[in-house]
Copies of this chain bind each other. A is one copy, B any other.
Amino acid sequence: MSQLHIFDSHQGSLQPFRPVQEGHVGLYVCGPTVYSNVHLGNVRTFLSFDLVFRYLQYQGYKVRYVRNITDAGHLVDDADEGEDKVGARAKVEKLEPMEIVQRYTVDFHNVMRAFNTLPPSIEPTATGHIVEQIAMTQQLIANGWAYEANGSVYFDVETYSQTHPYGELSGRNIDEMRSGTRDLDGQSDKRSPLDFALWKKASDAHIMRWASPWGDGFPGWHLECSAMSTKYLGETFDIHGGGMDLKFPHHECEIAQNKGATGCGGANVWMHANMLTLNGKRMSKSTGNTLLPGELLSGDSPHLTKGYSASVARFFIHQAHYRSVLDFSDEALQAAEKGYQRLTHALQTLEKRVGGGPAKGTFDVDAWQERCLDAMNNDFNSPILIAHLFDAVKAIQADQNDNSHLGQEGAAALLGHMRAWMFEVLGLHPESANSTGSGSSQKALDAAMHIVLDARRKAREQKDWATSDAIRDQLAAGGIQVKDGPDGSTYSIQE
């Protein structure tokens, strides 16, 4: 069997995955900043790492997946000169910042649940780790990589970069960065415009504030991830992930903080999920070329003709590799929906297959499963995995006419593998694959449809085509599709 390889953004190449501790994986992913609703680009990033989390578990690893909640707010621009976003919003809405945090944390969890992502193992908050962030800042000062100025503490990038390759992750060099910054003209306490805040002095108007050895203040945005990944995963851990937009400055600063405080760079492997576009263009609120997670599910958007189930959305997203740009469009989603239905119908056919044929079929399930594993072991290549699933669909269809294609044992083995790939790894929702209803309403619908299909059968036996057609039309208007087979008619609801 092939070995898992992951594309390491730091080295810029595919690397064999060797965990720090045999059988265990420490995975850290930068979570949402909870001062506004999560956008679809975030959803893609979290679905990408949900796939990673799920596949590592499928491989038998015990995974500690830490995904933080940035609730302390961070500064508006990368130059660290702006106002605290959470604080600014609080004043406008006359709310306590933690009320905003709560509202958007609840919203984020609702979206994550709607998309059937697994909760991380630990979901630490920035405000929940002030003690740890102060301790790391003290360590950085003690080690000579940071300085206090007027109640704030800054990381000394100029000094650090003399001995460390600051900019290596994002492929920048220090001279270019220097030429891209403005002069400080006495407006800042920083020694160099490249320096970044570890701890910021709180102005009188700043609501979120904590006591520190440097007076009342709040942590810099980059610090929380270094402090929390070190606390829960150790000074050297396996994988750090996030959206590509976080490479610089956020992840670059994280590496500097980790190396400066502990001597270790944190993660062995860096993974970055690529961006989303909509109809070929960058998403942007100002131009209206934007799509929210809720709009995708409800269809309440000028860019969509209808809503799509979360499973269809997941299927669509995993049809692209996480490192590729993914373009959302109504046409592409419709195509994904058709593909998803073909896949789930094939699974249903396989589930209903009554034993028959030889023990082993002509379709080599073991070799097929190896190809599926090879795809995922090649940097979690879900589009190739899905292509292999469609090879299985063809085999299932062929087997309907000639049960020597799968055979008894082959069919059973394929069913187990298909279910695991679809539900455990790709995170598709078993319920939406089988029917839209559940419980008492499904039971009621089955009872009603039993009567309806019986009436239709009788009409057809009496060659009363008018009644038979009228029933079919009325059902179609209600979104029910009837299929006539050798053993009678079955129905399905169009999602």
A interface residues with partner B (beta carbon < 8 Å):
64, 96, 98-99, 101-102, 106, 109, 119-125, 127-128, 130-131, 135, 210-211, 232, 435-437, 439-452, 455, 471, 474-475, 477-480, 493-495
**For residue A130, which residues in chain B have a CB less than 8 angstroms away from its CB?**
130-131
* Cross-chain contact A440 with B64 (CB below 8 angstroms): no
The residues of B that contact A480 with a CB separation of less than 8 Å are: 444, 447-448
- Say how far A453's CB is from chain B's closest CB, in angstroms: 9
- Measured between alpha carbons, how far is A327 from B224 in the docked complex, in Å? 48
**Closest chain B residue, CB of each to CB of A439:** B436
Task: State the number of copies, please.
Answer: 2
* Given known A-B contacts A131-B211, A478-B447, A495 and B440 have beta carbons under 8 A apart: yes
CB-defined A-B contacts under 8 Å, sample of 11:
A127-B128, A130-B131, A131-B131, A131-B211, A436-B440, A436-B441, A440-B494, A440-B495, A445-B445, A448-B480, A450-B478
Do A471 and B451 form a contact, CB below 8 Å, given A96-B232, A102-B119, A211-B131?
yes
Q: Which of B128, B435, B441 is A442 in contact with, Cβ under 8 Å?
A: B441
- Contact between A479 and B64, CB atoms less than 8 A apart: no
Question: A494 to chain B: which residues have CB within 8 Å?
Answer: 440
CA distance A302 to B401 in the complex (A): 48
What's the dominant secondary structure at chain A's contact region?
A: helix
Q: Which of B96, B435, B474 contacts A64 (CB 8 A)?
A: B96
* A131 neighbours in B (Cβ, 8 Å): 130-131, 210-211
Contact in complex: B125, A102 (CB < 8 Å): no
A474: which B residues are within 8 A, CB to CB? 447, 450-451
Q: How far is the CA of A468 from the CA of B232 in the complex (A)?
A: 66
Please judge, given known A-B contacts A109-B109, A130-B130, A211-B131, whether A478 and B120 are in contact too, CB under 8 Å.
no
A445 to B439, CA, bound (A): 13
Q: How far is the CB of A80 from chain B (nearest CB, A)?
A: 22
Choice from B106, B124, B442 contacting A98 with Cβ under 8 Å: B124
Given A232-B98, A452-B452; A447-B435 close (CB under 8 Å): no
Which single residue of chain B is at the shortest CB-CB distance from A455? Answer: B455
